[in-house]
Amino acid sequence: MGIIRAYISICFFLILSLSGFAQKTPDVHKINGNKYYLHVVEAGNTLYGISKIYNLGIEAIENSNPILKEEGLKVNQTLLIPVTSENKKDLGAVIDQTSQFITHEAQVKETLYAISKNYNTTVAELLKVNDSIKVNGLKVGDQVRIPISKVDAKEKYTVTAQADSLKSHIILKGETFYSLSKLYNTTVDEIVKANPDVSMQEGMAIRIPGTRVVVKKDTLDRLMQTLPDLIEKHRPDSGKVLSIGLLLPLSPSFPDSANPSSFRINEAKRVALSFYRGFEFAIDSLAAKSGVSFDVSLFDVGQDTFVVAELIKKESLKDFDILVGPFYTDQFEMVADYTKSLGIPTICPIPKPSKILFKRPNAIKITPSESMQIDAIAELLAAKYRDSNLILVNSNKFQDVSNIEFFKSRYAQAINLPDTSSKEIIREMKLWDVNHETLAMRLGDSGSFVLFVPSTNKVFVTKLLGELYDLKFGSKGKFDFRVIGLEEWQRYENDLDVKQLHELHVTIPIVGYLDFFDYRVKSFFNHYYAMKGYEPERFTVIGFDLAHYIINQVAYNSEQWFAKPEQFQFSGVLMDYHFHRVLAESGIENQSIQLYEYKNYRLKEFAKWPIQETE
């Protein structure tokens, strides 16, 4: 990699040091109609300690996990922890557990006596292993060590989890037994045997049979060749140096031992770190082949505009060829306004509204906005379903009005009709109330329909899918549906019935989806894991794609790209870039999206836009 400022190492040392202490509120997963937390068993865990973490009785955990009675507690098991009215409001105060101690965080108005009773031990036993509390008394936030050997519980519940000889893999969204079998060079049958009664739920730990994956050097070289658009034979002048500035929200803070929440790293910082790792990986692995040298500088700008204002005031940014970031809207607009007169391309790498491009011709937005996605769907429906039973479903919700009107306008343009004709060229179904009778009356006795539902209202979407599913199967095959929705639906996917999603052929646009059936994604993950020893995350791949794109354009189209970047396309591991400048004096936005269909109990690419159908 080129020159990187010295303060990067300090900044990342702090970030990585803190990440080990971060606590994450568990997500709720809906499995077989019931709601659960997922707990991945780690070394040192005991069933007694887990019950305290989730404020739940041991018997309830055993009933939800029959494997515990058969095999006992093992490292890498994923336990289903029932969500109850008690632990939904307040999880237990346990923050850590080892083979000898459970660590309990003292709560407001909590006494040492109350803690001792909660763990079926005595105050005397607690004082023996908590010297600071013995001297200073108990304070809110104190970390109270509970000796496992002294708690009044059955011995089998205080035995630590047994080691697992098999490798563990945390399931990502969209992964299947088949995709994992290909990733780890094993078979579906072997994975199923190693994981009896396990369903493919995002966040679960699954055991991988066989030894750790080892990739030979010649294999790595071949894997890298499968990445798209690698550097071609042409080489620019060898003396060329490109200066890139990364403005990311890292902001490490020194934790306060009296306040456990200070050890947490927020999501923006995690995304920034993941993005940086991917960007760095591309520079390290691809830049040398381009013939261009890169001088990459990293600025920690947090989320405050004051830091950005100081950088601008000190003219710290004026000599860069390209700037990436910041992540926050106010910061990005401030930087793009400053660099506009300097002609420095300023790239926004995360989802933001299109307004950040307005009157900023140097701004580049790599993630399509919701309006761009609706534009894509209008184009797709006009090209593929114009002559079908196409229906626009109107939720009559205020929050959906702008999406509905924008779609009508773009659909009319897609079939070369004026906006005023939109009511005449697409059938619209307004639903004040979603029920079986209303749908049957609107749709008739039978038929095959394509329904576009531009709604972000969770209640409406959930109810509509349920009624359509009942209508389809209640009619004994007289109805068939393809329901096209928005990317927003993924946010509440766990609350939607998986059978409904597949039987209704639900199709949604997704930006940057990790599809492990895609050879590019699989190759990248294999190579990255072999080089780094851990798996990349989604924003790692996004960072890699962006750096790869910059390397390509600077290597082959340098002058033309800086003048008109919208003229050049790019196909990455996770995202394709096909930029469009809507207004002459404004920035450019990526308009390339993929639509995915729930099919055969996985998300499968259905189509690309600009139109490029997938078999």
Torsion of Cα atoms, 429 then 434 then 438 then 442, to 10°: 20
pLDDT of residue 143: 83
Q: Is the pLDDT of residue 501 over 60?
A: yes
User: Do 225-367+520-577 and 371-510+598-613 come out as alike in CATH topology?
Assistant: yes
385-407: average pLDDT: 89
For 407-464, the pLDDT digits (tens) are: 998 898 888 876 555 456 789 999 988 888 889 888 988 899 999 999 999 999 999 9
Burial call 125-140: b when 16+ CB within 10 Å, e when fewer: bbeeebeebeeeebee
- Residue whose structure tokens are 């894997």: 223
Domain 371-510+598-613's class?
Answer: alpha beta
Beta bridge pairs of residue 613: 607
For 320-353, the pLDDT digits (tens) are: 999 999 999 999 999 999 999 999 999 999 988 8
- Report DSSP state, residue 239: T
Given pLDDT bands bounded at 50, 70 and 90, which one contains residue 16? very low
| 56 phi/psi in degrees, rounded to 5 | -145, 145
Lowest mean pLDDT, pick from 147-151, 285-289, 543-547 = 147-151
| Closest listed residue to residue 230, CA positions, set 277, 290, 295 | 290
503-520: average pLDDT: 89
361-388: average pLDDT: 88
pLDDT of residue 222: 41
| Closest listed residue to residue 601, CA positions, set 510, 514, 497 | 497
Q: Give the tokens for residue 123.
A: 């105050």
- CATH architecture type of domain 225-367+520-577: 3-Layer(aba) Sandwich (3.40)
- Residue whose structure tokens are 């002058």: 559
| Closest listed residue to residue 201, CA positions, set 38, 87, 33 | 38
Task: Find the distance separating the first CA and the last CA of the chain, reported in whole Å.
Answer: 39
pLDDT of residue 327: 93
Contacts of 333 (CB under 8 A, 6+ apart): 356, 360
Q: Is the pLDDT of residue 557 over 60?
A: yes
pLDDT of residue 225: 44
Torsion of Cα atoms, 13 then 16 then 22 then 24, to 10°: 150
Burial call 225-244: b when 16+ CB within 10 Å, e when fewer: eebeeebeeeeeeeeeebbb
Burial call 273-294: b when 16+ CB within 10 Å, e when fewer: bbbbbbbbbbbebbbeebbbbb
Report helix, strand or coil for 63. Answer: helix
Alpha-carbon torsion 204, 210, 216, 219, what sign? Answer: negative
CB of 143 closer than 8 Å to CB of 95: yes
Question: What is the CB neighbour count within 10 angstroms for residue 252?
Answer: 18
> In angstroms, how far apart are the furthest CA atoms of the chain?
83
- Report DSSP state, residue 341: T
The amino acid at residue 594 is Q
pLDDT of residue 613: 40
Report helix, strand or coil for 404. Answer: helix
| Sheet bearing 101-105, strands edge to edge | 94-97, 101-105, 143-147
Question: What is the CB neighbour count within 10 angstroms for residue 422?
Answer: 20
Given phi > 0 = left and psi -120 to 50 = alpha, else beta, which region is 53? alpha
Given pLDDT bands bounded at 50, 70 and 90, which one contains residue 103? confident
pLDDT of residue 237: 42
DSSP string computed for 130-144: -HHHHHH---TT-EE
Question: Where in the chain are the domains?
Answer: 32-164, 225-367+520-577, 371-510+598-613
Q: Measured at the alpha carbon of residue 158, what is the angle toward residues 153 and 161, in degrees to the nearest 5? A: 155
Q: Angle at which helices 519-532 and 217-225 pack, to 10 degrees?
A: 140
| Closest listed residue to residue 509, CA positions, set 603, 392, 596, 572 | 596
Indicate the pairing of strand 143-147 with strand 101-105: antiparallel
pLDDT of residue 6: 35
Report helix, strand or coil for 120. Answer: coil
Segment 60-64 long-range contacts (CB within 8 Å, at least 24 positions apart): 60/84, 64/36
pLDDT of residue 17: 35
Contacts of 16 (CB under 8 A, 6+ apart): none
| Closest listed residue to residue 246, CA positions, set 194, 282, 290, 291 | 282
Given pLDDT bands bounded at 50, 70 and 90, which one contains residue 34? confident
Name the helix (H) or strand (E) containing 510: strand 507-510
For 206-255, the pLDDT digits (tens) are: 777 653 333 333 433 443 443 333 223 223 344 568 899 999 998 655 44
For 192-215, the pLDDT digits (tens) are: 767 665 566 666 767 776 533 333
Distance CA 324, CA 245 (A): 6
E strands in 55-187: 78-82, 94-97, 101-105, 143-147, 167-170
Average pLDDT, the chain: 79
CB of 121 closer than 8 Å to CB of 151: yes
pLDDT of residue 303: 83
- Residue whose structure tokens are 């803690």: 115
Given pLDDT bands bounded at 50, 70 and 90, which one contains residue 466? very high
Distance CA 365, CA 293 (A): 25
Distance CA 241, CA 429 (A): 58
CB of 378 closer than 8 Å to CB of 385: no
Q: Is the pLDDT of residue 95 over 70?
A: no
For the chain, give the percent of residues with pLDDT over 70. 76
50-69: average pLDDT: 82
Q: Is the pLDDT of residue 297 over 80?
A: yes
For 151-186, the pLDDT digits (tens) are: 655 555 556 666 655 666 767 666 677 667 766 667
For the chain, give the percent of residues with pLDDT over 90. 28
- Residue whose structure tokens are 């069933």: 47
| 108 phi/psi in degrees, rounded to 5 | -60, 135
Q: Is the pLDDT of residue 541 over 90?
A: yes
CA 83 to chain centroid? 23
pLDDT of residue 133: 85
Given pLDDT bands bounded at 50, 70 and 90, which one contains residue 494? confident
Given pLDDT bands bounded at 50, 70 and 90, which one contains residue 588? very high
| Sheet bearing 34-40, strands edge to edge | 29-31, 34-40, 78-82
| 392 phi/psi in degrees, rounded to 5 | -90, 120
The amino acid at residue 421 is S
